Amino acid sequence: MTRQARDTPATPGTTVTTDGEAALHELAAGLDPPMVIVTALAPDGRRSGCLVGFSAQCSIHPPRVLACISKANHTFAVATAAPVLAVHFLGDDDRGLAQLFGGETGDEVDKFERCSWRPGPNGVPVLDGVKGWVAGAVAGRFDVGDHVAFVVEAEAGGYEEPSGGQLGFQAVKDVEPGHDA
């Protein structure tokens, strides 16, 4: 494949042919996927959680969601040891939580001292004030590259009513990640 100079001004509608990595980077920067926070409690009592943009519902029956966690994150080791994970869906007023869980690392701070939460299924931290959450057993884990995809059963959950707008990637893309990926 040929690579065109990235800084050449393109006429609107022009297809720029480049390599897959550059195309994906460019396309992803313009998307607005919903942001979630994944939390975990390991059997030894360690708690962790981080902001995740790589997530999606991946099954209807049984209800399951998938969330990809960087192998470098503090949350990764805790989530790998945890029998249950919680996935929180953020509302447009949850920027503070996104900043805390996406801009700080559990290697340096205890995020759970800085927010309001309660123990959920198996003690997994359930964050207060979010748009909604689901929690359940980890049905599978898949190495997908520099991230691992965790498949989480939606066995328990809750949601706010009426439901407001969601917090998407575009609203938090200026947050400096607390951990290198």
Ligand X SMILES: Cc1cc2nc3c(=O)[nH]c(=O)nc-3n(C[C@H](O)[C@H](O)[C@H](O)COP(=O)(O)O)c2cc1C
Question: Per rule CB under 6 A, is residue 52 in the interface with ligand X?
Answer: yes
Q: Taking a C-beta distance cutoff of 8 angstroms, is the pair 104, 140 a contact?
A: no
Among 47, 66, 91, 102, binds ligand X (CB under 6 A): 102
Q: How far is the CB of 41 from ligand X (least distance, A)?
A: 14
**Residues with Cβ < 8 Å from 3, sequence gap 6 or more?**
17, 18, 19, 22
Question: Per rule CB under 6 A, is residue 48 in the interface with ligand X?
Answer: yes
Question: Per rule CB under 6 A, is residue 51 in the interface with ligand X?
Answer: yes
Among 40, 41, 47, 53, binds ligand X (CB under 6 A): 53
Question: Per rule CB under 6 A, is residue 178 in the interface with ligand X?
Answer: yes
Cite the beta strand spans of the chain per DSSP E. Answer: 36-41, 47-52, 55-59, 64-70, 84-89, 117-119, 125-127, 132-143, 147-153, 156-159
Question: Per rule CB under 6 A, is residue 173 in the interface with ligand X?
Answer: yes
Residue 60 in tokens: 């209807």
Question: Per rule CB under 6 A, is residue 125 in the interface with ligand X?
Answer: no
Size of the site for ligand X (CB under 6 A): 25
Q: How far is the CB of 12 from ligand X (least distance, A)?
A: 27
Instruction: Determine the interface stretch with ligand X among 20-28, 39-47, 72-80, 88-96 (rule: CB under 6 A).
Output: 72-80
Q: Taking a C-beta distance cutoff of 8 angstroms, is the pair 70, 76 a contact?
A: yes
Q: Taking a C-beta distance cutoff of 8 angstroms, is the pair 122, 138 a contact?
A: no
Nearest-angstrom CA–CA distance, 101 and 92: 15
Pairing status of strand 125-127 against strand 117-119? antiparallel
Instruction: Determine the interface stretch with ligand X among 62-70, 84-92, 127-135, 153-161 (rule: CB under 6 A).
Output: 62-70
Question: Per rule CB under 6 A, is residue 88 in the interface with ligand X?
Answer: no
Q: Which residues bind ligand X (CB under 6 A)?
A: 48, 50-54, 68-70, 73-75, 102, 104-107, 147, 169, 172-173, 175, 177-179
